[in-house]
Amino acid sequence: MREDLEGFIEPGSEEEQLVNQLDFSRLPQHVAIIMDGNGRWAKERKLPRMEGHRAGSESVREAVEICARLGIKYLTLYAFSKENWKRPRKEIATLWRLLEDYLRKEDKVLVKNRFRLKVIGQIGAVPSLVQKELERVEELTKDNRRMTIILALNYGGRTEIVDGVKKILKEKDFDIESLDEKKFSQYLYTAHLPDPDLLIRTSGELRISNFLLYQIAYSEIWITPAYWPDFRKKHMLQALVDYQKRERRFGDIYPH
């Protein structure tokens, strides 16, 4: 994958030093990101909160590109939580409009680069025009296999677990004795997706904010003080270098 970074990583840069520390055979398969700090980024610059969200969209592009160039197969982005509905109506409306515009402008980029889009969450509550765009782009990219980008929208980890239980209860003649952790995971929004190996949170907050509660049981967590609009390939590479320094034992006494 090193050749895919040519022209993207500047020779002699801090990023190149970080790349040289990576073992490309031990990169995570799935990276999940809690994208936090847009509002504070804007406030520190005496800008409207929405300017922080707009600036954050560039960080999304860079995170997608660096992951794709490194060969990471799954990238999950926490884009809108169920709790985000508590924000001012104008801000919420603008967030959905930004997503709708992004989907219309970036669909060709997704197709060209063989990226698949998948959405998780209670999508029925998302504005109808945005729903249509999400469904269109999901269908358009469903056969792409280079990388899967998972958007968590109107998402809550506890709600996901409750929804999984509801699915089971609706099944006739379900054999409750056959239910184990692996089988239950197939009733979650993330069915058929691997659990995240690495969870990144920006803005320095030390919490997981109801995100992928079931799936991150053994994920490595990396936190950066950088606000999401300032997140760049340097930060992703720092997270990956730190990830590779850890021993993942999954409850065992020996690393896996």
Catalytic residue among 23, 84, 195, 230: 84
Contact 80, 36 (CB under 8 A): no
175 in catalytic set: no
The DSSP code sequence of the chain is -GGGGBTTB-TTSHHHHHHHH--GGG--SEEEEE---HHHHHHHTT--HHHHHHHHHHHHHHHHHHHHHHT--EEEEEEEEGGGGGS-HHHHHHHHHHHHHHHHHHHHHHHHTTEEEEEES-GGGS-HHHHHHHHHHHHHHTT--SEEEEEEEEE-HHHHHHHHHHHHHHSTT--GGG--HHHHHTTSTTTTSPPPSEEEE-TT----TT-STTTTTT-EEEE-SS-GGG--HHHHHHHHHHHHTS---TTSSS--
The two three-digit tokens of residue 59, written as one number: 């960080």
38 in catalytic set: no
The two three-digit tokens of residue 229, written as one number: 């609009």
- Please measure the distance between the N-terminal and C-terminal CA atoms of the chain and give it in whole angstroms: 23
Catalytic residue among 20, 36, 195, 242: 36
Gyration radius of the chain's alpha carbons? 19
- Selection from 235, 227, 232 nearest residue 40 by Cα: 227
- Active centre residues (catalytic): 36, 84
